[in-house]
Structure 1
């Protein structure tokens, strides 16, 4: 959309497919906590939300157990897991086109900033982004609304209507709603269509190609592109 000047992207499930790395690191953490989970598909719920929230809600860990589980997770993630990751097709082309159009690009992720920056560098995407904001290693600034607001504060010259948040989970859309900016939900990541629709995004798309078209062309608010078209 031409009126969006500052475009915020979630990282996991939006720019990259991190399933192998995240689920294997969660599996490693759980094993060290005495829980065996052989099915990585059962751990997809960890993709997107803050780790602290997921360990607490999915395994009923208390604060100390959650901190220990996160520490185990990061043992594997910082050496191996962050690189068990794949770019979604056409992401570099999308980012290059947006930069050519003069857009300000940002990453807004619940993943710690230090890891997010390394992942972007690994995939040679870092040059496209003007700012990368994630959580802190101590678990603070993990709520998506707080992360988005941090980015908004860096661009006071733009009105809220000039920002848009793109993500695959409800946390991305909730954060956009709470900060008063539009959101685009993408279904090629890990959130269901029902999860995305429930947060009333301005648009829903089903592929990076459709996202490219939407951001390049004027489209009425509320458009939902049909899968495969």
Structure 2
């Protein structure tokens, strides 16, 4: 596998094991707003999209008032009600360190808000690994390629020297649309068969397998 200058990671479900908490908080938000509670699978399917469009898709609504209430209820659930820990996946921090030691530029493209990404970086001590990042506050929601295009412009790296790594079809689509190579991870929220529909270089099943692909000489 080629040695990419820039590796762009999704966050939730790719580096951090946070899917169960996101699903739970979506369900709590629905209960709080007295709307039909989505199944775990339905809530999982929208992970990766920025919060507001994710909620509108999940609850099939274009009612701005309801969307506002659901967004507020989700944020309250995430920060105050659901106390599930969100650890980094086993081996993720070691992999990031190894990539940094190998002089790779690392970035994050996430549907999280800037405040949310900064919060988890502070909690995990991982922010210093990344050259740059794009969040829901600064770019169009996935599967738009906007986050990736902004990161490429900022870093000056050509699309052929960059790789996207993510656990959802939205990650695969945003990279595929601009001809960026991509690797899917099956341990997040979307199944391998769906990731493979977007022609990734590979679908890996653990952080260890991902590191072996990215750093075969380690």
Judge same fold: TM > 0.5, yes or no. yes
Alignment of 1:21-170 (within 5 A): 21-35=21-35, 37=37, 40=40, 43-64=43-64, 65-79=66-80, 84-136=85-137, 141-144=140-143, 145-156=145-156, 158-170=157-169
- Unaligned 5+ segments in structure 2 are none
TM-fit CA distance, 1:183? 0.6
Q: Is the 8 Å Cα contact of residues 22 and 77 (structure 1) preserved in structure 2?
A: yes
Range with bigger deviation, 196-205 or 53-62 = 53-62
Distance 1:38 1:155, change over 3 A: closer
Residues in 1 aligned to 2:148 and 2:186: alpha-carbon distance in whole angstroms: 21
The match for 2:3 is: 3
Relative to the length of structure 2, the TM-score reads 0.89
Deviation above 6 Å: which 4+ runs of structure 1?
Answer: none
TM-fit CA distance, 1:72? 1.4
Residues in 2 aligned to 1:173 and 1:113: alpha-carbon distance in whole angstroms: 22
RMSD: 2.2
The match for 2:210 is: 211
Residues in 2 aligned to 1:55 and 1:159: alpha-carbon distance in whole angstroms: 34
Residues in 1 aligned to 2:136 and 2:54: alpha-carbon distance in whole angstroms: 15
Q: Is the 8 Å Cα contact of residues 13 and 188 (structure 2) preserved in structure 1?
A: yes
Distance 1:39 1:172, change over 3 A: closer
TM-fit CA distance, 1:36? 5.6
Aligned residue for 1:136, secondary structure, equals: coil
The number of residues matched between the two structures is: 215
TM-fit CA distance, 1:133? 1.2
Distance 1:150 1:63, change over 3 A: farther
Aligned residue for 2:90, secondary structure, equals: coil
The match for 2:196 is: 197
Relative to the length of structure 1, the TM-score reads 0.85
